[in-house]
Chain A
Amino acid sequence: MTETVTVHPLFVRLTHWINAVAIIIMIGSGWHIFNNVPLIDGFHFPRWAVLGGDPELTYKLNKDTGFGNALLWHFAAMWVFFINGTAALIYGFATGRLRRNWLPIRPRDVAHDFREALRFHLAHDDPRIYNAVQKLSYVGVVLAALLVFASGLAIWKPVQFSWLTALFYDFQGARLAHFIGMSLIVLFLLVHVSLALLVPKTLVAMTKGSVRIATPDRPSMQPGE
């Protein structure tokens, strides 16, 4: 027996995919900005992974190989990220959805579900219910997003918001925090996208909003079985 259940309301799906576009643009352009004068000596992001235009064409147009375009992308997508992210968080808190779906997170459950996940034993029959590792990673990526937001503001306005920059020690400290925040988000993305591809039902849920699941009275629904 199966039934159709709504997993994600339209507003959640919309803000999720807008955020995905904004984040990917910010990462691609941010890597290009990084490459110009790398924070870490000798480390460059590969050319194919950065956003900013074909180097030769861009040089003819702009006198640089895409740095200016990367800045344009970065400072445009930041508004999408900021407005869309704020709207999503307000919605999540106001409806109680974040609290309901993401909390509580008990360390014991995280340890248990992590072990189960490594053995591919976690149940994913009902995409409305998150396991503890999933909950932790969602809360974690929101915290990482807040870190890139605050450190980004500190890099953008180190004089007007000098107090904020001072929280990161100094300008280079804010740059490092921005880099670490980005790295955490990229790490999340790698896991998040891989798991979504492994459990395609979650992709359907985040796109169509509803999925067909087995009716819950079946014994195979027991988690961990």
Chain B
Amino acid sequence: MPLYTPKRSPHRPEGFDGKALIGPHRDLLHDINRRGVLRGAVSLGALTLLSGCDISNEPHLQSVLRAISGWNDRVQAWLQNPNKLAPTYTDADVARPPRFNAFYTIDQVKPVDAASWKLELAGQIADKAPWTKDALYALPSETQITRHICVEGWDYIGKWSGVPLRPFLERIGADLKARYVGFRCFDGYYGSIDMATALHPQTILATHYDGQPVENPYGFPIRLKTPLKLGFKQPKWITSMEVTNVYPGGYWEDGGYNWFSGV
């Protein structure tokens, strides 16, 4: 019996099963029995001072921690003022080039072929015709100089230009009442944001950095840019976009990072 049965967050997938995450390591985890939770919770020293007793991956504890993360999603959605604009900065503050970051190193970046690249559309969108790079780059563009903040704690100020997401969603006939906008990327990365953030005026499909087209290590030909989210919420090398009510998750979120991750 679980120690605590959490109320399901609207941002968590249906049928989420903590045990399913464990997969082939079930036996290993089984050794860390429930008494271990109590022992760990009571004995503070064991909790942090002896990594051998670290109970972080105990399945019941994981379900509690992830339920609290779901609660944090709701609190953050409530805290986010849709009219609040992120602070903007000047040209002199801009880092050149932007900082590279991915789940692999810069020498492993796979080049995207501009000619064959398309933005595929899926889900609750009326006009799902794919977009070529040239068609997207020809749309009206906006520029912002905003702070990029990584979940790890580093930050830089970047100058991003691109297609504001809201008018683009309107243009393709997306259901603006849907809950999520999900993205899939050329490198296998994937992610999703809430509709409120997707409709925020500072959320853009970035095509340019500091006046130049976004180059390959930084997400060619388009990446999501929104100063309202941590960096990992802004996928690069986007190849498809989906509007949906089914929680799409994310590459890091599925490993426990907080889904909303608004700043």
Interface set of A (CB-CB < 8 Å, partner B): 20-21, 24-25, 27-28, 33-34, 36-37, 39, 47-54, 57-58, 60-64, 66-73, 75-76, 79, 155-160, 162, 171-172, 175
Contact = CB atoms under 8 A, between A and B. Distances in A.
Contact of B56 (A73, A157, A171, A175): A73
Given A52-B56, A172-B155, 12 more contacts: A21-B44, A24-B48, A25-B47, A34-B153, A37-B152, A52-B54, A61-B22, A66-B56, A79-B68, A79-B71, A157-B262, A159-B86
A142 to B, nearest CB: 20
Given A69-B56, A72-B256, A159 B22 contact: no
A159 B228 contact: yes
B66 A57 contact: no
B53 to A, nearest CB: 10
15 contacts: A33-B152, A37-B153, A49-B48, A51-B48, A54-B51, A61-B255, A62-B255, A63-B255, A69-B56, A72-B56, A157-B79, A157-B263, A159-B227, A159-B263, A171-B149
B154 interface: yes
Given A24-B47, A53-B56, A175 B153 contact: yes
Interface of B: 21-22, 25, 28-29, 41, 44, 47-51, 54, 56-57, 62, 64-66, 68-69, 71-72, 79-81, 84, 86-87, 103, 147, 149-155, 227-228, 251-252, 255-258, 262-263
Given A60-B25, A76-B65, A53 B149 contact: no
B56 A39 contact: no
A21 B151 CA distance: 24
Contacts, number: 124
Contacts of A20: 44
Closest 8 pairs between A and B when the two form their complex, measured CB to CB: A53-B56, A62-B255, A68-B256, A28-B48, A72-B65, A76-B68, A37-B152, A69-B56
A27 B48 contact: yes
Contacts of B252: 63-64, 68
A216 B71 CA distance: 52
B153 A160 contact: no
Contact of A71 (B28, B149, B258): B258
Contacts of B29: 57
Nearest to A172: B155
Contacts of A75: 68-69, 72, 258
- Quick one: which of A36, A67, A72, A171 has the most chain B CB within 10 A? A72
B48 A68 contact: no
B151 A71 contact: yes
A75 B252 CA distance: 16
B46 to A, nearest CB: 11
